[in-house]
Amino acid sequence: MKDTLKSILERHHLSDEATSIIEKENLLPLGLLNRLHSNYAKSSGILESSKRMFDTRNHYSGLKGFREIIEILNNHGVDIGFIQERELFILVYRFLATKFVLNAINWQNFENDSLFQLVFPQPGMIHPHTVQAYNEAKTEEAKKTLIINYIKKNTNPHDGKQQLNKPWFENEEGELVILEGSQHKYPQCQLIFDQTTQSCFSFCTYCFRHAQVRGDEDIFNQLDIKPVHDYLKKHKEVTDMLLTGGDAGYMPYERLRDYTLPLIQDPELIHIKSLRIGSRALSYQPEMFLTKDYKRILDLFKTLTDHGVQVVWMSHFSTPREVLNPATIAAIRRLRLYGAVVKSQSPMMNHISLFTDKNGQVDIERSAQNWIDLGNVFAMLSVGFHSIYCARPTGEHHYFTVPLSEINKVFNKIYRSLPSINRPSRYITMTSSAGKTSILGTVEINGQKAFALKFNESRNMEWMDQVFLAKYDELENTVENLIPFEGEKHFYEDELIQIENDKLEALLKRMKE
């Protein structure tokens, strides 16, 4: 690689502070950059050099921010079109983008840029008849009513009956305490949606938690930390605290300290072995990690790991391009330098990380190659490939999904092409109220084709012990809609209904006492 590190950092406009940290901590060895770029030059932004369009602010938010972006693009001769349709999407789901991700988009070929698809509303996301009705609405009040009704009827904000996952307990005074910002669905892991993590650095167009970032009335929002610790003391089966949102990377140092230091200071919390942080900051705001101020959080991570608490930064990379830039590579290496484990889990989404040809058919080879390359990039950076999962039936699911039969073909190609140590840790998965169901593949029984399915998480964890079959369907895109291969119900369905009813009845009964 002929370029010096200094010239690479200058071309990417990294700050003097970030540059100093990168050089001092050896976060970007030229040998590593050379190997990454040489192997994945088509996806790599390491040697790119382009004028930065976006510098007026760190975040561009809502319609105002979107319109400011459009004005800047137009001033540079870029017209993305479909403005009214894109703005309707924003009114339903919101919009937010960092200057980092905006400057990372290849605006000379934005239609085919995965980051553009990831962050910008696209024509076709909202059904044409809704767009037409909105355009034909005579008054602003009529448009507002249409949007409210659309959110209620079409967006399915809490798929999988997530409200049932809200934990509760009785405190020492015998009072009922409901953790309004938490979910505890599977024994080992408790999710926390803290009040400081309700937003994101940028909004993904496929967001599965649009109710959170939109600020709906029924969002999960944890205000107080002490009840979380009190609950954990009563639930020794929990081993993992998962901070999520929104984006858990938003949590300020003081708040993170108050959540985590008791894990190593209070003997009653010694059963907590892992802290997971769910965040897209490595994709959307990697420069955040390359500051002197962030060292306080890194030192906290080091303290936790020195006391036997695994710190896992759960990133959500979908394409090699999101990773292959100097800021993200340096941020990953800095997290690892201070003891954090970096892993990635991400959905396979049409138009972003899964691709169709001109005839609308899934391009198996191109789609699989995206993930094969990503898996090998992870290996080169010592990032764990946790999982790939299917689009959840929420938001504009129709735009991002394809039939499970095609997804299965893509995943099979990925799995057999990667070396065993670089593969995802489980087969491709889809979430429902029952749990996380993996598609193991297909089998043929007495001349009939079937999907072989298996839970890797479930409301009753013993369901994970059983493989079950569903009738093969060329068109179905949602696992829970698959028809049992034999009988009228899957083996777990009656018990699932009982579990859901029992959870609701137990809480209602206690609230009446």
**CA-closest candidate to residue 396, choices 110, 130, 84:** 130
CA–CA dist 505, 197 (Å, integer): 30
Classified as helix, coil or strand, 444 is: strand
Give residue-wise pLDDT tens across range 23-56: 999 999 999 999 999 999 999 999 988 778 999 8
Average pLDDT over residues 212-222: 77
Q: Answer whether residue 159 shows pLDDT above 60.
A: no
Q: Residue 151's pLDDT band (boundaries 50, 70, 90)?
A: confident
* Cβ-proximal residues to 72 (8 Å cutoff; 6+ apart), any chain: 53, 54, 56
- Type of residue found at 247: D
The residue whose two tokens read 């060292």 is 295
CA–CA dist 255, 194 (Å, integer): 9
Q: Mind listing the domains of the chain with CATH numbers?
A: 50-155 (no CATH), 157-393 (3.20.20.70), 426-512 (no CATH)
Q: Answer whether residue 203 shows pLDDT above 90.
A: yes
**CA-closest candidate to residue 190, choices 159, 165, 172, 220:** 165
**CA-closest candidate to residue 201, choices 331, 393, 24, 355:** 331
> In this predicted structure, what is the pLDDT of residue 217?
62
CA–CA dist 304, 16 (Å, integer): 30
Q: Answer whether residue 504 shows pLDDT above 70.
A: yes
Average pLDDT over residues 384-391: 96
Listing DSSP states for 367-381 in one string gives: HHHHHHHHHHHHHHT
Average pLDDT over residues 269-284: 98
Mean pLDDT of the chain: 94
Average pLDDT over residues 161-170: 89
Q: Please list the residues that pair with 452 across neighbouring strands.
A: 441, 469
| 448-458/189-193 β-pairing | unpaired
| 274-278/310-315 β-pairing | parallel
Per the structure block, which two tokens stand in for 381? 């950076």
> In this predicted structure, what is the pLDDT of residue 160?
55
Give residue-wise pLDDT tens across range 420-451: 999 999 999 999 999 999 999 999 999 999 99
Least confident of 76-80, 200-204, 208-212: 208-212
Per the structure block, which two tokens stand in for 361? 């058919």
Least confident of 149-153, 168-172, 208-212, 354-358: 208-212
Angle at Cα 483 formed by Cα 481 and Cα 489, nearest 5°? 105
Can you state the percent helix, strand and coil of the chain, rounding each to 5? 45, 20, 35
CB 437 within 8 A of CB 430: yes
In this prediction the pTM is: 0.95
- Type of residue found at 456: N
Q: CA-CA distances (angstroms) from residue 90 to 6, 129, 203, 210?
A: 39, 17, 10, 11
Q: Answer whether residue 211 shows pLDDT above 80.
A: no
CA–CA dist 16, 22 (Å, integer): 10
- In this prediction, what percent of the chain has a pLDDT beyond 70? 98
> In this predicted structure, what is the pLDDT of residue 3?
66
Average pLDDT over residues 343-369: 95
Give residue-wise pLDDT tens across range 64-92: 999 999 999 999 999 999 999 999 999 99
Q: Answer whether residue 1 shows pLDDT above 70.
A: no
* Cβ-proximal residues to 475 (8 Å cutoff; 6+ apart), any chain: 403, 405
Least confident of 212-226, 228-242, 364-378, 470-484: 212-226
> In this predicted structure, what is the pLDDT of residue 507?
86
- In this prediction, what percent of the chain has a pLDDT beyond 90? 88
CA–CA dist 207, 157 (Å, integer): 10
Average pLDDT over residues 259-265: 98
